[in-house]
Each structure stands twice: as structure tokens, then as C-alpha cells.
Amino acid sequence: MKLLFDHIMTDYWKNKLDFLKSKYEDLEILYFENDEEKKKHLKEIDGLLGGFITEEEMDFAENLKIIFVPFSGVNTLPSKKILERNITVANSKGNGKVVAERAVSLTMSLLGKIPHFHNDMRKGVWHGFSVGEKPNQSWESIIDKKVTILGTGSIGRSLAKYLKAFDCNITGYKNSYNGEKIDNFDYLTTDFKEAIEKSEIIYIALPLTNSTRNTVNLDNINLFEDKYLINVGRGPIINEKALYNGIKNGILKGAAIDVWYDYPTKDNKYKLPSVYPIHLYENVILSPHVAGFNEKAVQYSIDWCIDNVVNYIETGDPKNKVNMKLKY
């Protein structure tokens, strides 16, 4: 089997790839330094280790059978051509527990008013009993909260596990449900309205697909009245204008967002994450899409990706196969 590595090389990657080569004598891993080398190798390979390939590059890769994506999202891939050619896609969900950790951190920052109190204290402004405030003017605990997690995959399941430590009552929302039980969820439903109305904190932990885009929109944002909204899935799962209206009009009690709409580029590294002034509101916590991006998270994702390769070589199927029609 010939596998082309198309990702940022690190020592951790190198050690894992060396392990693969030592384990399988028939495995050849190819690398490239420029576009010409890449095109040449694409003609030879059976598998691609990377999450980005264009339709034009796929035309070169005539023998391509499988793409090992070293992260969870597959919306960067040309799904139509992949489906036409029946190419297998295997993604990596290893960083789900780290993303979930970030989601809990965002929740505690938001309800705990940590950035707000911190910024005020830097100016000498105090809050709490020492300045005569009442308890209901202080920060809010997540203990005993009613929580809904939209998405019960690796992120959602880890999130439910963590929140159980705070005695939260947890509802999980899924597109389909066959009656199975999932650890740490008190209730599972396919009814979106029910899932939202019964909870105080709503987490978005869904993949971005045609069916999940605009899950939260202008028509249903009022369902979120007096609730906290945390998004660690993908930005467009919440309609951008609906998010802004929810904050501006006081529908949402607060929001913590790690995934966005406008991202920096090589030519413009300084950019606000939305066309709307969401960043100006004190009941909003902004995070620069880093929930799954730290050393531990990246290592977990690489481990999962390597497991996908091992399973594919030994059984003909990766550890985790993506349904490219659904994109998860």
C-alpha cells in the first residue's frame, strides 16, 4: 500500500509514521516538498493521509481508495467526487474529550462571569458582598442545571460525563433514536423543540452537514429565551444573524462561542469573527476555534488516525468510517 502524507509534520507524527513503516513492510509512505512532487505521488497512491484535497488533485489520484482525515471535520473534502468514486473516508474523533473540556471551561467562564469580574478588578471595580451586592447579582453555578447537548458523538458523550460531576440533568438530542441508552444521559430525544425547552444550558456538539446547517435560526431563536448557548461544533450550525439577534434582543441569557463565521487569512491575521458586533456584549465569551487545538488534543487525533490506518491494513476497514452523504 502506498500512502501520501499531506499534513504538517511534527516529531509526534514522525514517530507514529515510523511505527507504521516498521510494523508493515509492504507499506510505503510518500512525502512531497512542492506541487509537482505532490501531483507525481498522487498518481501512485492508494491512500491519502490528510484532510484537504481538491477535485483537480483527485483527478490525478486515479487509484485513490481511502482518505485518512487526521481531524473530525470532513466538509473540506469534495464529497460529490468522493461519492461518485466510492472512496472511503475515515476521520479522527480522538480529540472529543478535549473539546468537551473546553466546552465546560467556556460554560464556567460564562456563568461564573470570570472574564467580566477579572476585567473589572483590573480597574479596581469590585463585585460581591464587599460592595453590598446581593447573591442574585453574583455569578451563577452550573450545579443541578438542566442541560441539553445537541449531538451525542464523541464530544457530546465526554461532555455528558464531565457535567455529571456537577449533578446536571442531561438531555441528548439526536437525529434518530432507536431506544439505546448512552451513559450519563438522563434522556434522549429526536424532538428539537422539546430538547431546547426543557433545559437551561444548550450545547452545540454537532458536525456541520447540510441538515445541521442553521439548526438554530431566526425562526426558532425565541425557543432559547433565558438560556445559555455554548457552541463547540461549527459556526454555521447557528445562523449568524439569529445568534446576534438572540444576544442583542436579550433572548439569550448568554453565549460562549468557539466556532465562527469569519476567519483570519495569511494576508489578514486580524479579523473579527462575525459581521455583527457580537464581541461587544459582556454576556458573550469568545474563543478562537481552539477547543480541539492543543498538544494533547492533536496527539489524540493522530493516535486515532494511526488506528484507522492499522485497522484498514489489517481488516480492510478503518476504525471509523464517515458516511459522506451525511458528512459524519
Residue 324 counted as domain residue: no
Verify that 311 and 262 share a domain, yes or no.
no
Verify that 159 and 299 share a domain, yes or no.
no
Among residues 190, 188, 191, 247, the alpha carbon closest in space to that of 221 is found at 247
Verify that 56 and 105 share a domain, yes or no.
no
Domain CATH for 55: 3.40.50.720
Q: In what order do the strands lie in the sheet with 254-257?
A: 187-189, 169-173, 146-150, 201-204, 228-231, 254-257, 284-286
Residue 321 counted as domain residue: no
SS3 256: strand
Residue 165 counted as domain residue: yes
What is the pLDDT at residue 319? Answer: 93
Residue 328 counted as domain residue: no
Residue 325 counted as domain residue: no
Residue 327 counted as domain residue: no
pLDDT in tens, the chain (328 residues): 999 999 999 999 999 999 999 999 999 999 999 999 999 999 999 999 999 999 999 999 999 999 999 998 898 899 999 999 999 999 999 999 999 999 999 999 999 999 999 999 999 999 999 999 999 999 999 999 999 999 999 999 999 999 999 999 999 999 888 888 999 999 999 999 999 999 999 999 999 988 999 999 999 999 999 999 999 999 999 999 999 999 999 999 999 999 999 999 989 999 999 999 999 999 999 999 999 999 999 999 999 999 999 999 999 999 999 999 988 8
SS3 255: strand
Verify that 24 and 86 share a domain, yes or no.
yes
Give me the domain span that covers residue 81: 2-94+295-315
Verify that 79 and 227 share a domain, yes or no.
no
Verify that 200 and 190 share a domain, yes or no.
yes
The answer to whether the beta carbons of residues 305 and 92 sit under 8 Å apart is yes
Query: What sections of 24-88 are H helices per DSSP?
Result: 35-42, 55-60, 79-84
Residue 320 counted as domain residue: no
Q: What distance in Å separates the CA atoms of residue 106 and residue 206, rounded to the nearest whole number?
A: 17
Verify that 30 and 105 share a domain, yes or no.
no
Number of separate domains in the chain: 2
Residue 258 counted as domain residue: yes
What is the pLDDT at residue 294? Answer: 95
Verify that 39 and 173 share a domain, yes or no.
no
Sign of the four-CA dihedral 106, 264, 224, 176: negative
Verify that 68 and 25 share a domain, yes or no.
yes
List the beta strands (DSSP E) in the chain: 2-5, 28-30, 47-49, 66-68, 88-90, 146-150, 169-173, 187-189, 201-204, 228-231, 254-257, 284-286
What is the pLDDT at residue 326? Answer: 86
Verify that 270 and 122 share a domain, yes or no.
yes
Verify that 141 and 56 share a domain, yes or no.
no
Verify that 276 and 244 share a domain, yes or no.
yes
